[in-house]
Structure 1
Amino acid sequence: MKKEMKIILPVYKMVYAFAFVVILSLIRGVVFTNEIGFSIEGPFAILIAVFCADTYVQEITSNRSEVQRLYQIKKRIYSIIQRLMIQGTFLLLLAVLGYGLFFAFQKPVTHPVTESEILQFIAYFGAIVVTIFFWGILANTLSMLFRNMWMGIGSCLLIWVATNSSGADKFLGAWNVFSYSFRDIENATDITWLYGKGLCICIGLILLLALPKIVRKRG
């Protein structure tokens, strides 16, 4: 575990990720507390993609994958999943910190027709966990397919632009991967945004199941 943490969490990655969250909480204006969640999720998805794109592709570009080919495929897959979990845990802590920083820097007030602060945070926490899972595994998978981190990030950016838009919201509705961001924040009883998050989980699990084949072909 310590070895994987040293590989996947170098100081420069932690510094730019922390700086990203601080800057976002300073420049993204919110008035009500129910605006914090969607103010974080969209930009944070880009951070996740950049942060996780080199999860395994660094082994390919540095030719360390030639050594890894000597290991059993199960051990290689376990290493990738372990790295994704380490990165995901770090990013989740950052996401929670970012939520708190909006309160510290901008002092938003509770909207009179929304649910309690605790329920808002629980919904945010669940949504951001799925967001980290989806964009993390997507960035890693695309980078491995292209054998290039920047191609993986670029592909994620194209998907992000296509889905994080009003057009995608109208076309996909509750099935959008950013359904949480486009939900009706003034209607606490509307939980249809869970459909989009459920779709993210399904896609992420499919990509995880495809990992062994991708590693054999591209890694």
Structure 2
Amino acid sequence: MERDRQWHVDTKPLTATKVQFGKRVFDIIASSILLLCCIPLFIVLSVSIAFASGFPVFFTQTRTGLNNKQFTIYKFRTMRCDKRKMDRHLYDWDEGVPDDFTFKSGYDSRVTSIGKVLRKYSLDELPQLFNVLIGDMSIVGPRPEIPEITAYYNLHQRKRLIVKPGMTGYAQVNGRSEIQHGKKIEHDLYYIENQSILFDMKVILSTVKLVLKGYGSY
């Protein structure tokens, strides 16, 4: 409870309201177009997942979003159904999330064969376009963490929650799944302080290049 009462952090206003307005307009247009264009791909991936490892096709999870508000994130399921619910995240940190903390590892026996392909090329993230369309997320922004981690954020780390989380972000194009938490915070706060539509375009282009190479994602 004490953690929740101390969440609010004094931060200077974002550079300009018009940047946020422009991002939201872009998010709505981009997510709408991409969702329509991806319908055939969604069908193929859904059938492939169901055929390879059964139902459900989609994976949902609670994440922390703008101003510490929780929301449900959507992804294609990449792990076996029988073990997915056994996954628990228990942490015990006293002074914020350690800088050397890395959430993912290079190998996870629970990931299915098709799940490995989906993760390598970030295809499992496509359903998050729904999150962008309804306003829980943005195309570009800090990646949303699970509440079990954000509950331990210190004052400095909480600053990354003053903007909407994104499908991709500046930290991700500088490391994807390999990046340590300290560096991720550093990159996210740099993005927040310097965000612009042009910056977003550069992040998106860098993301496309990394995804096509399948680099740094598990």
Do both share a fold (TM > 0.5)? no
The structure having more radius of gyration, on CA atoms, is 1
Quick one: higher RCO (CA 8 Å, sep 6+), 1 or 2? Answer: 1
Q: If each structure's helix is expressed as a fraction of its own residues, which one has the higher value?
A: 1
Question: What is the TM-score with the length of structure 1 in the denominator?
Answer: 0.35
Q: If each structure's strand is expressed as a fraction of its own residues, which one has the higher value?
A: 2
